[in-house]
Amino acid sequence: MNGRILLASGFLALAVIAGVLMLAASPDKPQPASLAEARVAAAKADPATAAPASEAPAAQAATPVAKADEPFVIKRILPIDGPIKYGEWHWDDANVPDGPIVVTVDLDARVLSVFRNGYEIGATAVLLGTEDKPTPLGVFPITQKDKDHVSNIYTGAPMPYMQRLTNDGITLHGSKVELGYASHGCIGMPEPFAAKLFRTTKLGDKVYITRGKQVGMGDSLVGA
């Protein structure tokens, strides 16, 4: 009887050793992503069910990292039919969430657009400079704002709702756009639109001036 017990114990010990060796020799199978994600979700819901510390790196690695929302990606374009005529403007900021303001000016289309948090809230036809005094290309922060500005360069010309872009006199401002005159490099827009833009922007907001840059839904405004 004692001999059969010892023999059985020996077989049992051998089986345990063989099982351990098999587990050590076989590579771990990667967990399906869904299982790893489920474990992470369960751990967040109930910390008592969290995986052991040795498993935590694998579960975290399988969890996709969400990208931060990019505020300069176009999320909406105003539904405007046809080209915008001189003196025409559009503005619709209803239910648009707060967010960074970006202004774009396309010299070829002669259109200024205003985006808030990626949503176009305003668009208008603008007056631009001539070949002799062109509107410059580039990215310009707004450095000064003056609601009742009068030019000290161009014979005291009124420039309502002026927003300065350069130190040599290039600005955004209200103008008699419907007359179709060219500017000395400034960007002129209908005065009611200029007033709305003036109230919307703050110092440091960027104005992207491009030539023929086509943008649409999902496009990035950065580097436009």
Backbone angles phi, psi at 11, to 5 degrees: -60, -40
- Domain boundaries in the chain? 2-62, 89-210
| Calpha distance 210→59 (Å, rounded) | 46
- 89-210: which CATH topology? L,D-transpeptidase catalytic domain-like (2.40.440)
Convert the pLDDT of each residue in 127-164 to its tens digit. 999 888 899 999 999 999 999 877 766 666 788 999 99
The angle subtended at Cα 64 by Cα 63 and Cα 67, nearest 5°, is 145
How many CB atoms are located within 10 Å of the residue 219 CB? 15
Does residue 159 sit in helix, strand or coil?
strand
Looking at the chain, the number of H-run helices and the number of E-run strands are 4, 10
Q: Which residues of the chain have pLDDT under 70?
A: 1-71, 152-156, 214-215, 221-224
220 forms bridges with which residues in the sheet?
A: 73
pLDDT for res 19: 46
pLDDT for res 222: 59
pLDDT for res 209: 96
Catalytic residue positions? 173, 186
pLDDT for res 131: 85
